[in-house]
């Protein structure tokens, strides 16, 4: 989210709050956007909740257009009827945005963009953080409305792992939701192979999804080769360092799970060696890495 888009969001959103305040009993004396900061966060959240508690209010605002918005700006405001309001876990902050997990049963995981402040500045603690929020579509992405109601709860290691695992499972079921409204497209869910690759991506995921990985392999034994290859990929760094320690300067190596099965001076050498000792259908179990 660019700073220009973040400023535009506030320029559109704050007038909507003014309009909602004027048409509800939550706050009195709100005439312009300059009156909003003095209300305090709790009052602003109460006004915000009125916007989404009354589905007609956004359309009434767009029809009246009291602030003289352009048709394009009004369309952006109308899209906010596709909001998602609820309690979420901020699971992880990445370069792309923050992962918000809806805590409801079968909840989805959303990629949410920050506005003028970063999530590192906004969140009171290291994720996961439980909070009330409203997610809104804006410029083809998802933003929050600037009002986060966080809970003063600290999650220990076990609970944090469970929340991260729940977020991963939501992504596997629904995909990572990057825009609103959410539309369940055919093929959104992961195949067994895609699930396995996703769960094997990092050491943290492999630990948190040990049971899921075992279940996938029991269900589809053909994926055992993929498992061995991905474990080989994970173990390659350790073998790289061990080879360096014993004096190996360079070369190519083929590893399956935690076993080096072939080596050579060049990549072509090691590929020929693998072809010579492994049947073609078993080649998928091998990961190649270079020591240089």
The mean pLDDT values, 10 residues at a time, for the chain of 292 residues are 92 95 85 92 90 88 96 97 96 96 94 93 94 96 92 94 95 94 76 94 94 96 96 97 96 97 97 95 96 94
Residue from 41, 33, 30, 39 nearest 14 by CA = 33
Please, what is the Cα angle at 107 between 104 and 109, to 5 degrees?
A: 130
Q: Are residues 199 and 264 in the same domain?
A: no
- What's the domain count of the chain? 4
> Does the residue 215 lie in any domain?
yes
Q: Are residues 214 and 237 in the same domain?
A: no
Q: Are residues 109 and 164 in the same domain?
A: yes
Q: Are residues 169 and 215 in the same domain?
A: no
Q: Are residues 105 and 166 in the same domain?
A: yes
> Does the residue 187 lie in any domain?
no
Structure letter (DSSP) for residue 285: G
Q: DSSP readout, 68-105?
A: ---HHHHHHHHGGGG-EEEEEEEEEE-SS-EEEEE-ST
> Does the residue 171 lie in any domain?
yes
Q: Are residues 90 and 169 in the same domain?
A: yes
User: Which residues constitute the domain of residue 143?
Assistant: 83-177
pTM over the 0.85 mark: no
Please, what is the Cα angle at 243 between 239 and 244, to 5 degrees?
A: 115
């Amino acid at each position: 989210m660019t700073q220009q888009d973040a400023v535009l969001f506030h320029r559109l959103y704050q007038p909507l709050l003014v309009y909602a305040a004027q048409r509800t009993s939550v706050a009195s004396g709100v005439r312009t956007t300059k009156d909003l900061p003095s209300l305090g966060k709790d009052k602003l959240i109460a006004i915000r909740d009125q916007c989404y508690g009354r589905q007609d209010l956004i359309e009434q605002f767009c029809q009246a257009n009291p602030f003289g918005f352009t048709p394009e700006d009004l369309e952006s405001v109308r899209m906010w009827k596709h909001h998602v309001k609820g309690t979420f876990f901020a699971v992880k902050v990445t370069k792309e945005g923050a992962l918000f997990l809806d805590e409801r049963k079968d909840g989805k995981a959303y990629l949410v963009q920050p506005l003028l402040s970063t999530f590192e500045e906004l969140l009171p603690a290291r994720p996961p953080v439980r909070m009330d929020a409203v997610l809104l579509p804006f410029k083809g992405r998802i933003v929050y409305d600037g009002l986060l109601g966080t809970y003063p709860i600290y999650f220990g290691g076990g609970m944090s792992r469970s929340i991260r695992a729940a977020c991963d499972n939501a992504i596997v079921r629904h995909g990572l939701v990057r825009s609103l409204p959410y539309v369940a497209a055919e093929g959104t869910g992961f195949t067994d192979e895609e699930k396995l690759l996703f769960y094997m991506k990092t050491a943290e995921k492999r630990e948190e999804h040990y049971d899921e990985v075992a279940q996938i392999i029991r269900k589809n034994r053909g994926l055992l080769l993929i498992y061995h290859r991905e474990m080989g990929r994970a173990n390659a760094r350790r073998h790289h360092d061990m080879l360096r320690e014993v004096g190996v300067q360079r070369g190519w190596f083929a590893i399956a799970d935690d076993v080096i099965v072939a080596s050579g001076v060049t990549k072509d050498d090691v590929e020929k060696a693998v072809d010579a000792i492994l049947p073609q259908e078993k080649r998928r179990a091998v990961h190649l890495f270079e020591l240089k």
